[in-house]
């Protein structure tokens, strides 16, 4: 199967989840993440804001803000092909739909922060393998961004079991994640790469 075929197949399966399934699985996944030491120890957490049927991050954002962590959200700069980072003040008041309809900070709420200040990144994706290799939406936004974080920054990807595949055909730009958290499992990946056959 090619990357394109995996994206199509997995997104179709994910889109077929009911709102109740999305909410229930997301709750299980976020509960696991907020018990991890990587989360508990992080003062500054970057969190993607879900769209379509991605694992929902609202409860994580609310809990992190309530715990007085610094919550950082991405803004997709399509013309520069990069993610910009902003410290989130109020959820969801400071947000509005941006590129692709994804929530992002309103211009007057934009508070930039350097990638090196982030202690934990919650990474979205389409599909993953057990080594942490990640297939995204095809823009390379997270691959470019993750190289800018500090060397010890953990990357955690919340994902449904249906997004975990035996092989996702990583390329040399693809940055693997350290943990995959599904509704059933916590997978410490070791970030070992599976070479292309």
Ligand X SMILES: Nc1ncnc2c1ncn2[C@@H]1O[C@H](COP(=O)(O)OP(=O)(O)OP(=O)(O)O)[C@@H](O)[C@H]1O
Asked whether position 98 contacts ligand X by CB under 6 A, the answer is: no
**How many Cα neighbours within 13 Å face the side chain of 147?**
9
Residues 93-132 that bind Mg ion (CB under 5 A): none
Q: Which is nearer to ligand X, 62 or 144 (CB)?
A: 144
Minimum distance from residue 168 beta carbon to ligand X (Å): 10
Asked whether position 193 contacts ligand X by CB under 6 A, the answer is: no
Residues 101-160 that bind ligand X (CB under 6 A): 135-144, 147
Minimum distance from residue 119 beta carbon to Mg ion (Å): 23
Neighbouring residues of 34: CB distance < 8 A, sequence distance ≥ 6: 40, 60, 63
The correct pick among 143, 144, 148, 193 for binding Mg ion (CB under 5 A) is 143
CA distance 145 to 137: 14
CA distance 191 to 130: 9
Binding part of the chain for Mg ion, among 14-22, 36-44, 96-104, 174-182 by CB under 5 A, reads 174-182
Neighbour count for residue 179 (Cβ, 10 Å): 21
Strands 95-97 vs 103-105: parallel, antiparallel or unpaired:
antiparallel
- Contact partner, 41, from ligand X, Mg ion, none, Cβ < 5-8 Å per class: none
- How far is CA 120 from its chain centroid? 11
Residues 168-187 that bind ligand X (CB under 6 A): 171, 173-174
Structure tokens at 101: 């309809």
Interface residues with ligand X (CB under 6 A) are 135-144, 147, 171, 173-174
Interface residues with Mg ion (CB under 5 A) are 136, 143, 174
């Amino acid at each position: 199967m090619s990357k394109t075929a995996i994206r199509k197949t997995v997104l179709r399966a994910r889109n077929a989840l009911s709102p109740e399934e999305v909410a229930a699985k997301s709750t299980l996944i976020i509960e696991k993440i907020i018990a991890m030491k990587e989360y508990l120890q992080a003062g500054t957490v970057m969190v993607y804001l879900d769209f379509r049927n991605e694992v929902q991050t609202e409860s994580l954002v609310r809990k992190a803000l309530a715990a007085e962590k610094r919550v950082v959200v991405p803004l997709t700069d399509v013309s520069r092909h990069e993610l910009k980072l902003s410290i989130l003040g109020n959820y969801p008041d400071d947000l509005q739909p941006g590129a692709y309809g994804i929530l992002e900070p309103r211009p007057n709420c934009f508070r930039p922060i350097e990638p090196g200040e982030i202690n934990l990144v919650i990474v979205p994706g389409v599909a993953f393998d057990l080594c942490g290799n990640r297939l995204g939406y095809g823009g390379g936004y997270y691959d470019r961004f993750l190289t800018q974080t500090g060397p010890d920054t953990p990357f955690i990807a919340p994902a449904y079991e249906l997004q975990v595949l035996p092989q996702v055909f990583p390329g040399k730009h693809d940055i693997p994640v350290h943990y995959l958290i599904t509704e059933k499992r916590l997978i410490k990946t070791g970030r070992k790469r599976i070479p292309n056959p």
